[in-house]
């Protein structure tokens, strides 16, 4: 293959730059706010190269504040850096760029910075100072974790997760002495009492924490766009720029889109998408929807499209590649109009065969829920008085950790639809009492215990009431009826988990906090550990309120005491519900993961679905790729009946999880909801599916599993 001559290469580069400048002029006309713009770096325009290295990144603001790099430390351009769009890739080791000092780039008058990026690690996106971390009064920096730091003040906790695409906005207002940080327009954090920032004469380092000979650090990640304004932007202007950038990069978050997608469900070589009609189309009868699906790395022009009439708000597209990553979106038009009336946020899916019926799914790189969480947790299931099923899960891993999604099935679990999203509901348990649907949850991670109630089977929910002031932890464990009261177990985190029980009379108004009793919390005592055990650290959590064969109410708790396993801690619950005491430890196959124990109402046999460890090996005791049905007549001796779900692939212990099972008796069957990590999950713990399963004729003969 012939290489181009230097003159040919120069001509190619010149043509590229001319095209870039022309394109920038067109794009610049779309930027909704240009006043006070001091720097605008955009990865698909204005790049100059030395071989594959980006040595100049032209400023598109018109101020001439170009970023430059020596060839030895220059970053590279990648085509698919942020949501399928070009970005400049910093290697986390040596690459960085600099922008020469200019008065308009200092923060003395205020500062607003917009960053579109995806990071894997590192210290800084941009830093205007030649020293360390912003602890002197004349510098500012933007970090991929907490956001903006000015004059030595910044948030101490990270708000942005590694590996995900973000639009981060940071605003410093000297008049109010505040820094505000936003994630795709949603408030992430606020820093107060920020001192005035003195005029700074240092260059801006992009992709590097600059501190020669000291604690330097480089950005490991992709920067697609960086805009700097030298004022604290008013909210209306900030929102307009955020909307422009969200649309450009497909970064719409939950609650911000005009056409909401409620479920993305991957199947075997297929994806099913459910959505809601846009509010702008209320009352229209001439709608048409287009489901668009493309390989994630491909342009939207290559999408496959399925069109349905406005009577439908769900569509399935077949013929896809299993295990490939796809982007999906929905567009709606009205009448003969060519322009879309509304477009959904971009969502992701990876088709595959998945055990059971998929109730909900979140791709591990999904941007849509980043402000709420990115992994599926806390499955819960309940049966409504009319026989319909309702299920829920929360989201964890980043974001607010204070949000649950509610689903309902009208056909015994064969099909599901999303019916509500419930704020102030984390680690929640759905249950029905006297024909009303409730969710007992924490207001947020380690928060107050709150109770929600729905009058219509989960579609709408009233304001929750607080039953106990946090920091509490709980799980979707059983709500047990015993001696005229409802009982369930929680834990107070102060600072370690302390077991507690909360109860209420069955004939009380459950939404009246005064009717509830919560016990004095009981800390873990090392004296409880079995003979021969010597854990370095141990705790108990996620207790089940269970009535034993003698009629005594017990709290049976998951027992984490590595490297030991195979036993649960059992506490006695006082009849008045105000205290607990140590009862003993029992053998139990699923002691390392949350479990639910229920007693069959006619046979009196206790049953559970647990993560049995089939072949314990060092470092692989906490595996969740095997789900086993177990039974007991006395709670002390448990017998494995059959493995209900099992993945024996070599990678399964690391990437497959059938876990946190919540289940119900359903005649001769058991039905259950699973937090399922499968087909592209981040790991076995960080699940990407909520799935429904049915164990037929569980108590007699071979066990079969199906929807």
pLDDT tens-digit map of 121-130: 887 899 998 6
pLDDT band at 189 (very low <50, low <70, confident <90, very high): confident
Compute the C-alpha angle 253/354/625, nearest 5°: 100
**What pLDDT does 154 receive?**
85
CATH code for the domain in which residue 525 is found: 2.120.10.10
**For residue 607, what pLDDT is reported?**
98
- Mean pLDDT computed over 527-556: 95
Which CATH number does the domain housing residue 205 bear? 2.60.120.200
Identify the CATH number of the domain in which residue 339 sits.
2.60.40.10
Distance CA 234, CA 112 (A): 10
Specify if 292 maps to a domain: yes
Residue 520 pLDDT grade (very low, low, confident, very high; cuts 50, 70, 90): very high
- Calculate ∠ Cα 641-642-643, nearest 5°: 145
Residue 558 shares a structural domain with residue 661? yes
Residues ≥6 apart with Cβ < 8 Å to 388? 408, 409, 410, 457
Mean pLDDT of 539-549: 97
Taking alpha carbons only, the member of 610, 646, 616 closest to residue 630 is: 610
Check whether residue 270 and residue 230 sit in a common domain.
no
> 238 is written with which tokens?
């900030």
What is the pLDDT at residue 1? 36
Domain count, the chain: 3
Q: Within a domain: residue 580?
A: yes
Percent of the chain having pLDDT more than 90?
71
614: in domain: yes
Residue 2 pLDDT > 80: no
Residue from 622, 605, 604 nearest 613 by CA: 622
Count the neighbouring beta carbons within 10 Å of the beta carbon of residue 573.
28
Average pLDDT, the chain: 90
Lowest-confidence segment of 291-295, 306-310, 552-556, 661-665 by average pLDDT? 306-310
| Count of residues making up the chain | 707
Q: What is the pLDDT of residues 315-343, one digit of tens each?
A: 999 999 999 999 999 999 987 777 788 88
**Is residue 626 assigned to a domain?**
yes
Same-domain check for residues 377 and 308: no
Q: Quick one: pLDDT at residue 621?
A: 65
Residue 486's domain comprises 357-706
Both 302 and 371 in one domain: the answer is no
pLDDT of 6 strictly over 50: no
Tokens of 277: 């009609």
How confident is the model over 436-486, as pLDDT tens digits?
Answer: 999 999 999 999 999 999 999 999 999 999 999 999 999 999 999 999 999
Assess whether 138 and 283 both reside in one domain: no
Does residue 157 surpass a pLDDT of 90? no
Q: Do 219 and 299 share a domain, yes or no?
A: no
Within a domain: residue 495?
A: yes
Domain shared by 491 and 382, yes or no: yes
In angstroms, the first-to-last Cα distance of the chain is: 57
Point out the least confidently predicted range of 209-223, 266-280, 418-432.
Answer: 209-223
Task: Indicate if 72 and 207 belong to the same structural domain.
Answer: yes
Residues 366 and 409 in one domain: yes
Residue 208 is assigned to a structural domain of this protein? yes
Q: Is the pLDDT of residue 17 over 60?
A: no
Q: Are residues 361 and 344 in the same domain?
A: no
Residue 147 has pLDDT above 90, yes or no: no
Average pLDDT of the residues in 421-437: 97
Q: Which tokens belong to 629?
A: 């049905």
Contacts of 404 (CB under 8 A, 6+ apart): 378, 392, 393, 394, 421, 422, 425, 426, 428, 439, 441
Last residue of a domain, one of 249, 281, 311: 249
Examine the domain organization and report whether 188 and 129 are in the same domain. yes
If asked whether residues 199 and 175 sit together in one domain, one would say: yes
**Which of 362, 373, 558, 358 shows the shortest CA–CA distance to 475?**
558
Q: Is residue 401 included in any domain, yes or no? A: yes
- For the segment 564-620, what is each residue's pLDDT rounded down to a tens digit? 889 999 999 999 999 999 999 999 998 999 999 999 999 999 999 999 988 765 545
Predicted local distance difference test score (pLDDT) of residue 442 = 98
Run of H or E residues at 10: helix 6-28
**CA–CA separation, 23 and 66 (whole Å):** 17
Q: CA separation (Å) from 663 to 431, 597, 657? A: 12, 9, 16
> Does the residue 469 lie in any domain?
yes
The SS3 of residue 632 is strand
pLDDT given for residue 14 in this prediction: 37
């Amino acid at each position: 293959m012939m290489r181009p001559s230097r003159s040919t290469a120069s001509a190619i580069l010149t043509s590229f730059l001319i095209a870039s400048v022309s394109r920038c002029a067109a794009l610049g006309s779309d930027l909704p706010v240009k006043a006070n713009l001091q720097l605008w770096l955009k990865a698909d325009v204005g790049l100059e190269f030395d071989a594959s290295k980006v040595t100049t990144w032209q400023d598109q603001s018109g101020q001439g504040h170009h970023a430059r790099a020596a060839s030895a430390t220059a970053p590279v351009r990648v085509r698919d850096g942020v949501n399928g769009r070009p970005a400049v890739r910093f290697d986390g080791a040596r690459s960085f760029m600099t922008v020469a000092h200019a008065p308009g780039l200092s923060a003395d008058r205020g500062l607003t910075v917009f960053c579109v990026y995806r990071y894997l690690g590192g210290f800084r996106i941009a830093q205007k100072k030649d020293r360390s971390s912003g602890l002197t009064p004349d510098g500012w920096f933007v970090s991929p974790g907490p956001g903006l730091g000015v004059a030595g003040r910044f948030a101490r906790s990270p708000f942005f997760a590694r590996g995900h695409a973000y639009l981060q906005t940071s605003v410093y207002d000297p008049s109010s002495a505040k820094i505000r940080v936003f994630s795709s327009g949603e408030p992430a954090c606020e820093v107060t009492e920020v001192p005035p920032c003195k005029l700074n004469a240092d260059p801006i380092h992009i992709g590097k924490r600059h501190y020669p000979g000291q604690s330097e650090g480089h950005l490991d990640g992709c920067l697609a766009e960086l805009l700097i304004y030298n004022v604290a932007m008013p909210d209306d202007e900030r929102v307009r720029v955020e909307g422009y950038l969200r649309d450009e990069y497909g970064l719409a978050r939950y609650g911000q889109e005009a056409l909401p997608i409620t479920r993305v469900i991957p199947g075997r070589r297929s994806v099913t998408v459910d959505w809601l009609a846009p509010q702008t189309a209320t009352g229209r009868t001439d709608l048409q929807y287009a489901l668009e699906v493309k390989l994630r790395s491909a342009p939207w022009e290559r999408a496959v499209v399925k069109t349905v009439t406005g009577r439908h708000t769900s569509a399935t597209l077949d013929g896809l590649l299993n295990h490939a990553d796809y982007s999906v979106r929905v567009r709606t038009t009205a009448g003969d109009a060519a322009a879309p009336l509304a477009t959904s946020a971009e969502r992701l899916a990876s088709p595959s065969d998945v055990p059971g019926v998929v109730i909900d799914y979140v791709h591990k790189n999904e941007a849509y829920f980043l402000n709420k969480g990115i992994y599926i947790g806390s499955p819960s299931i309940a049966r409504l008085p009319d026989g319909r099923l309702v299920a829920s899960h929360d989201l964890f891993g980043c974001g607010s950790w204070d949000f649950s999604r509610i689903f309902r099935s009208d056909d015994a679990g064969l099909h599901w639809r999303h019916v509500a999203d419930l704020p102030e509901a984390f680690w929640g348990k759905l249950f029905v009492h006297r024909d009303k649907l409730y969710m007992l949850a924490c207001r947020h991670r380690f928060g107050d215990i709150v109770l929600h109630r729905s009058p219509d089977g989960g579609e709408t929910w009233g304001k929750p009431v607080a039953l106990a002031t946090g920091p509490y932890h709980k799980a979707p464990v059983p709500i047990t009826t015993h001696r005229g009261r409802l009982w369930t177990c929680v834990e107070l985190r102060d600072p370690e988990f302390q077991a507690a029980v909360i109860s209420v009379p069955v004939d009380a108004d459950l939404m009246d906090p005064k009717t509830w009793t919560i016990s004095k919390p009981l800390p873990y005592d090392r004296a409880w550990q079995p003979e021969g055990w010597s854990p370095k650290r141990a705790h108990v959590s996620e207790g089940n309120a269970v009535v034993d064969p003698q009629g005594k109410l017990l709290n049976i708790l998951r027992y984490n005491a590595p490297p030991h396993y195979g036993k649960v801690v059992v506490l006695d619950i006082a009849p008045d519900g105000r205290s607990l005491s140590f009862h003993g430890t029992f053998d139990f196959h699923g002691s390392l993961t949350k479990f639910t124990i229920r007693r069959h109402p006619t046979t009196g046999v206790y049953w559970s679905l647990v993560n049995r460890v089939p072949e314990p090996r060092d470092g692989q005791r906490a595996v969740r790729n095997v789900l086993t049905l177990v039974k007991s007549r006395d709670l002390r001796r448990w017998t494995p009946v059959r493995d209900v779900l099992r993945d024996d692939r070599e990678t399964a212990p690391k990437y497959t999880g059938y876990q946190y099972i919540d289940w119900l008796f359903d005649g001769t069957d058991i039905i259950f909801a699973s937090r399922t990590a499968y087909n592209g999950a981040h790991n076995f713990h960080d699940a990407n599916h909520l799935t429904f399963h049915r164990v037929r004729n569980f108590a007699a003969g071979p066990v079969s599993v199906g929807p």
